[in-house]
Structure 1
Amino acid sequence: MSLKATKEHLTQLLADADISVIALTGKWGTGKSYMWNEVKAASEDPKIAGALFASLFGLSTIEQVKIKLIQGTIPALKASTKSAIKAGVKVLEGVHKGFGALNDLGLVVAPSMLKGKLIVLDDIERKHEKLNIEEVLGFIDEFTQQYGSRFILILNSDQLKDRAMWNTLREKVVDHELCLKTTPSEAFDIAIGLTPSYYSGRIREVVETCGLSNIRIISKVIKAVNRILGDRNDLKEAVLSRVIPSTVLLSAIHYKGIEDGPDFDFVLGQGNDIEEMIAAHEDEKGKVTEDTKRKGKWRLLLRELGILTSDEFEVLVADFLQSGLFDVSSVATIIDRYVTEDDLTTARNDCNEFLQRMVWEHTLTEAELLLEGTKLAENSHLLDAYKVTALHESLSELQDGKVIADLAIDRWIKAFREKNLTGVDLDNFFHRKVHPRVEEEFNAINLRSQTSTTALDACLHIIKSSGWGMREEAVLKSATVQDMEQIIRTCSTSDLQLFMRRMLEMCTDKQSYINHFGTAMDNFVHACRNIANDPNANRLGKLIKLLFADSKLEDGLKSKDSELAS
């Protein structure tokens, strides 16, 4: 039952004097104690308002439980009653010295002090192993049967190590059990009251989508958002849509608030199509595993949250959660960039929403969709190559949408040309769809840039970027022996070191690079051979021989005549 319904039922059960023992169960952190305190505070019944409370956490004897309960009665006792109790204990001590070991209030007076009381025992599953369940049963049975006491037993059902213990309690003493299933909305209402946030509306949406119902975890999630965003109360909707879902989800994962939810690696890898490609491939083969099913479920959650990709922001949030160290300046820099790119973010979010609506909003007419798509097409220059392609494809499916779709591509290309880029890397390793006209623009720029890019530039780019694109591949493939020789003879010392190191590495593992760079490695070796065998090369020739020997490639420097002689 929800918190509201459970609260109403508990109030009704307490009004029934024939029910002596009520069990209140539910998962950890869902507000059982919180709900009981609300019932107690709202009650006009003096027995409920004056209920005694004891947590069994770590208690190893039933005497310790009684003492805790007796201590709870002290504030309500009159001064004359306290004096009488103390005097009675001193008389008992005079009769038998063993009574001196008792608490000042005296366990001997427990029956009279707990008689007719409503007793709340919390954290039953966390009792010390020395506290035998039979003792607890005996205590409850004695005080309900002989002294008219009533009990509320509170325990976290998901934290039970000894299930048999609870079954015994339930069978022998519990008259009625209430199982609390707090809804995410109810849990958030409590948590936000404890931990206020300017971003409460946005956080609530994500909490409910993730199904978080643990109040303590939600409070930690709210604190994480507050810490990361600070007092930036001027952030626009698009930026909040970008940062809050990721922050809430990663925090929920870190604090283990989502049962069978995604892990950090899955979220940080979002936007990498390789997982979807593998899943689709396995689907086609009919080899869907439990792992692919689970990841498919995770993907649906991330899409529902609008987390379509991850970047350095998610990495910083994950680092903060794991280390506790918060890099304020780095996060501020990223958020500042999001703010300056607000138009871009808004356009991308609007496009994502439109594409989702195209699929799911079956009640929308094509005319309504076309009207939305026309507005998006006006800002198509703010989209990336893949998104504008997807927009074009979707608009083209609508009646009279092809014209609008083509206009979207026209605006994108016009804006792209105005950037005057010297080169561009499509980075389409996963073969996502790109409109032919967009791809032509990329190819045209790269073709022009090749005339001004040398093999040295390509190598330096590969070293600095730890990777390469189409331009680097094209330049190295087209580099002649003469080009290579010119670079080696004329470049600066620092560039020569980088160039020689990278080219020698590629020559050492030639088979791994030949498909990308063609004859580049052969032409490089040929150029080095020319220089090494040039009597006028002097120290440069000696340097090349030394580097090739160190790389175990000295055979490549042999002249054709020496190869024939051998």
Structure 2
Amino acid sequence: MSVQNARAAIQRFLSTDKPEVLCIRGEWGTGKTWTWDDVLKMQGQAGKVPLKRYAKASLFGLNSLAEIKREIFQSTVDVAQIDKPFDPANYKDLYAGVKSQSNLWLKAVDVFFDKGSDAIVEALALSARNMIICVDDLERKGEDLRSVDVLGYISQLAIDRKCKVVLLLNDAQLEDKVEFEGYLEKVVDVHLRFEPSHEEIAEIAIPGDADNIGNLIKGFAIKLGISNVRVIRKIFALCKLVTPLLKEYSFKVTINTVRTITLFGWSYFQPESAPSLEYLRKVNTYSAEKNDSDEQVRWRDTLLSIDFYSSNDFDDQLLTGIRNGYFAEAEIAQHARVLNQADIRGKADMEMRRAWNFYHNSFNRPADEALGEIYETYKRLNAYMSLNDTVQLERLFRELDDPRAMEFIDMYAAANADNPSAFDLDHLARFGEELTQEVQERLAAAQARQKPKMTPDELFLALAKRGFEEDVVVGTAALPVEEYTRALKSHEDEAFSDIINGLRQYLTVGNPNEYLHTILDKAAVALRQIAGESAINRRRAMRLGIIQRLDAREQAAAQAKVAAEIAGEVSYRPEIISITTIPASAPSDTPPPPAKKSRARRQSRNGRERQP
């Protein structure tokens, strides 16, 4: 039954004071309870519920009818007070009713402290009449409570106490289902099978006109077929935590983030219904294998429906956040910047490709028109163009006697005034053409005009606040070990703390790049040297966890070397630094655990080979 039909049936049930029992069945997380609560609240506020009192009893962990009766008494409110803040005055009439029905009222307060007082419980239970009662979570009851006993009490409430009772349950999870079914037909007057569509489940989880994030989640959840309202809400909460960290980047970064959290969150929170995390981390939907199982084929089609092709390091970082319940801002920023630049460059590539197509795809367009399109496109996007792009355009315009040829070199130089690696000619793809003397001189002059590089001290002191900016990371990684030792020994107090905190933040990065590995390795070597100076310096150095990280890397490298030699490999070159060791005595201060090494991938931009 759809949500719309279920709501209509609930409205009919609530519209009369006729004693009857309504049973709503459905799987966990499909929104049964939310739908019941929402319809009851709306009908109550509209004055369309004849009965004026309401109680809701969850049977989760309850083991006796006495506990159910106590739960009903404690939760009883006026229908008009549903979803409103607690007010003791609302219970005045209820207490008076119980007092008039039992001379045990003076002892009633003991019920909240003495669960063995059956007489008091029965006295309180007398108040449960001529009201609406919701019994939820029958499948999660305690072991000592039988389902048939619950049905018997529900029947008593309806027949003897003139109550309207709704029973919400996932009957597939009942341990005594056969016995339960035998009695159910004798008790229940109206049956509803709650089976909302994936669209309806998404709407229950994130109702109304959601924001961009909510709409993204709903779209992905529908295509994936997520059928649990709670799971979607957890995913929504996680996305609300991380997306503010992405507001300065391209919205495509946000889309990719929400897609990953929806998919990986579904797998993590509902593993029985979703593809496994292991599968998601290794799948490549671009490539089908002959021995793929039917399940793998099915999941591949599902993943393709949301444009998920394979996981990357950023996905791993987001999965860590899903597991932890929070996201590390520095690590998210590290990956988001890479994705943001990739997105921007991708868009620039597409526009430049259109300009090249405009040049190539006609024998009728004159040179001024065709070259003008390329020139204007480059002028607008020169900040995202490579040196390879630039020298190709310079050559094209020069060979066609266009006077704007050298402007490409000048625009490139201006756009990369602060990028030390922008003028590296060693890796330039020249397609067999040498740069002219004038081009080389202009590039050299531009490189000479660059702002002075940061001093070693400026780099180390910048780590704490700018530790993930490219110029700081690249510059610090390039410093020799001697500068690390000097900086650690020459700074004290706040400056020393900034340097240490700046270095240690890299220990928690889930997927450090080669520059971060180099910084930590060099810092560890410097700390080893300092630790060897005295016992107190050894204790100071060892508490940071940086030396221990390098120890673990060297040990792993040694083990790999032995394995390689056994396997008969010719050579093995571990890419880590190993210089000085310190005495093996263990310090009393327990250092923090080093960050786990996860798979690292080098990302490089594919060279564009546009031939004029």
Question: Which residue of structure 2 lines up, in the alignment, with residue 55 of structure 1?
Answer: 58
Q: 1:110 aligns with which of 112, 125, 131?
A: 125
* Closer/same/farther in 2, CA of residues 422 and 303 from structure 1, 3 Å limit: farther
Alpha-carbon deviation of 1:294?
1.0
TM-score w.r.t. the length of structure 1 is: 0.56
Q: For 1:157 and 1:59, locate their aligned partners in 2 and report how far apart those are by CA, in whole Å.
A: 17
Structure 2 residues without counterparts, runs of 5 or longer: 78-89, 109-113, 362-373, 375-384, 393-421, 433-513, 516-558, 573-612
Residue in 2 that maps onto 1:11: 11
Q: 1:239–1:345: 8 Å Cα contact kept in structure 2?
A: no
Q: In 2, are the aligned partners of 1:7 and 1:35 still within 8 Å (CA)? A: yes
Aligned-pair distance for 1:256? 0.9
Asked if residue 216 in structure 1 is aligned to residue 230 in structure 2, the reply is yes
The one-letter code of the counterpart of 1:26 is G
Residues 14 and 49, structure 2, Cα contact 8 Å, conserved in 1: no
| CA distance 1:219–1:11, shift in 2 (3 Å) | same
1:122 aligns to 2:103 (yes or no): no
Counterpart contact for 1:40–1:48, Cα < 8 Å: no
In structure 2, C-alpha distance between the alignment counterparts of 1:215 and 1:269, rounded to whole Å: 28
CA contact (8 A) 1:214 1:257 kept: no
The match for 1:539 is none
Q: Which amino acid aligns with 1:140?
A: I
Aligned positions of 1:79-478 closer than 5 A: 80-81=96-97, 83-85=99-101, 87=103, 89=105, 101-102=117-118, 104=120, 106-108=121-123, 110-111=125-126, 113-192=127-206, 199-256=213-270, 259=273, 261-271=274-284, 276-279=287-290, 282=291, 292-324=293-325, 326-346=327-347, 377-378=353-354, 415=389
Question: 2 CA distance for matches of 1:108 and 1:507?
Answer: 82
Residue type matched to 2:117 in 1? A
What SS is found at the alignment partner of 1:181? coil
**Secondary structure at 2:289's aligned position in 1?**
helix
**Alpha-carbon distance between aligned partners in 2 of 1:504 and 1:123, rounded to the nearest angstrom:** 58
Query: How far did residue 319 of structure 1 move?
Result: 2.3
- Give a deviation string over 1:442-480, Cα, whole Å, max 9, x none: 9xxxxxxxxxxxxxxxxxxxxx99xxxxxxxxxxxxxxx
Q: What is the Cα deviation at residue 73 of structure 1? A: 3.9
**Aligned in 2, Cα 1:69/1:102: closer, same or farther, shift over 3 Å?**
same
**Residue segments in structure 1 that go unaligned for 5+ positions in a row:** 93-97, 283-290, 351-374, 382-394, 396-407, 425-437, 443-463, 466-500, 514-519, 522-566
Mapped partners of 1:271, 1:253: distance in 2: 17
Q: Deviations over 1:253-306 (max 9, x none)?
A: 1111772x3222222224486xx3533xx4xxxxxxxx6211111111222111
User: C-alpha separation between the residues in 1 aligned to 2:104 and 2:561?
Assistant: 96
Q: What SS does the corresponding residue of 1:51 show, helix, strand or coil?
A: strand
Asked whether the equivalents of residues 64 and 145 of structure 2 are also in contact (C-alpha less than 8 Å), the reply is yes
Amino acid at match of 2:122: L
Alpha-carbon distance in 2 for matches of 1:249, 1:57: 30
Residues 522-537 of structure 1: pairs in structure 2 closer than 5 A: none
Question: SS state of the match for residue 301, structure 1?
Answer: helix
**Residue 2 (structure 2) aligns with:** 2
Deviation at 1:441, TM superposition (A): 7.1
Distance 1:116 1:222 in 2: 40
Q: Cα distance, 1:178 vs. partner? A: 1.0
Which whole-Å CA distance do the structure 2 matches of 1:22 and 1:345 have between them?
Answer: 58
| Residue 124 to residue 422, structure 1, CA distance change in 2 (3 Å) | same
Amino acid aligned to 2:187? V
Amino acid of the structure 2 residue aligned with 1:378: R
Q: Is the 8 A contact 2:22 2:165 kept in 1?
A: yes
Q: Assess, with a 3 A threshold, how the Cα gap between structure 1 residues 503 and 40 changes in structure 2: closer, same or farther.
A: closer
Compute the TM-score of the two structures, normalised by the length of structure 2. 0.52
Distance, in Å, in 2 between the alignment partners of 1:191 and 1:82 is 39
- Aligned equivalents of 2:334, 2:295: Cα separation in 1: 35
Please name the residue that 1:41 is paired with: 41
CA distance in 2, matches of 1:110, 1:159: 29
The structure having more radius of gyration, on CA atoms, is 1
Compared CA separation, residues 272 and 67, structure 1 to 2 (3 A): closer
**Alignment CA distance shift 1:323-1:145 (3 Å):** closer
- For residue 141 of structure 1, report the CA deviation from its aligned partner: 2.5
Partners of 1:128 and 1:244 in 2: CA distance: 38
Give the Cα separation in 2 of the matches to 1:332 and 1:503. Answer: 35
- Give the RMSD, CA atoms, in angstroms: 4.6
SS in 1 for 2:144: coil
* Residue identity matched to 1:268: R
Please state how far the C-alpha of 1:51 moved relative to its aligned partner: 2.4
- Structure 1 277/118 Cα, relative in aligned 2: closer, same or farther at 3 Å? closer
The CA distance in 1 between the partners of 2:288 and 2:278, in whole Å, is 17
Spell out, residue by residue over 1:38-88, the C-alpha distance to the aligned partner (whole angstroms, 9 max, x if none). Answer: 221122244455222211112211122122223334745526545435645
> What is the CA–CA distance in structure 2 between the aligned matches of 1:99 and 1:320, rounded to whole Å?
43
CA 1:51–1:421 in 2, change beyond 3 Å: closer, same or farther?
farther
Taking the aligned partners of 2:226 and 2:12, their CA distance within structure 1 comes to 28
